[in-house]
Amino acid sequence: MAAPSRLAGAGVRGHAGRVIGEVNRALRALLAPLLPPGCTVRFGPPSHEPGLDLFLAGVREDEAGSGTDWTDIRDADGRVTARRPPIRRFDLRYHVAVTAKDEDTEALLLDAVLTVVDPKQRVDPALLDDGLAGQPVVLRLDPAVVAYPDRTVLGVVVNAPLVPAPVREIAPPADRISLGVAAPGRPLPAPAPRRAPKGWSGSRIVEED
């Protein structure tokens, strides 16, 4: 496994370990300004009110995109003050149901979703909590959607990170390291007692012809 990366002060602010609630807030912030008057963004099963109903239908861990290394968190002097476990990533699968009283409103609602869902663009960090702002959050359409009767439904997948809280109880750095070599099956020799370094008491230079 690769050596831990070093990130000064990272992962300290924000709400560590939260992902679904933060993604919901970001989706609302993205979609709400694009909706026609009288329409709202809601989270849960489809309702009869005009707007968009986003139902979280499934969660799958993105093992390929998840990290494997711990991150050293350092203070201004470069000392390690905490270590953050590897960041995990998840695919959050939403069913986005459209409810409208007429075809024009329905088209505007669908356009709002298509405008927001762009796999080539990351979600604006300004819409994310500090704990997620440093990590990419990407939206894409999901072709596998359960059909609802008399309802247009789009599938949206949000790939987002779960950033664990830093571990602040860490062992102090080692002040010395002892190495030993022994034949297979034999115990290592006991380390020699540590002795205080001796200084020079004097010096003499002798020159000979």
Neighbours of 191 (CB within 10 A): 10
As to burial, measured by CB atoms within 10 angstroms (0-12 exposed, 13-18 middle, 19+ buried), residue 52 is buried
**Phi and psi at residue 99, in whole multiples of 5°?**
-125, 125
The CATH number linked to 34 is: 3.30.2000
In a domain, 182, yes or no: no
**77 inside domain:** yes
* Whether 105 contacts 152, CB under 8 Å: no
Tell me how many domains the chain contains. 1
Weakest-pLDDT range from 144-148, 191-195, 197-201: 197-201
What pTM did the predictor assign?
0.68
Residue 158 maps to a domain: yes
Of 88 and 8, the one with more pLDDT: 88
* Structural domain includes residue 197: no
CA distance 100 to 152: 10
Range of the domain at 26: 5-162
How sure is the predictor about 14, in pLDDT bands with cuts at 50, 70 and 90? very low
Query: Does 190 reside within a domain?
Result: no
Q: Which pLDDT value is given to residue 42? A: 96
Domain assignment present for residue 26? The answer is yes
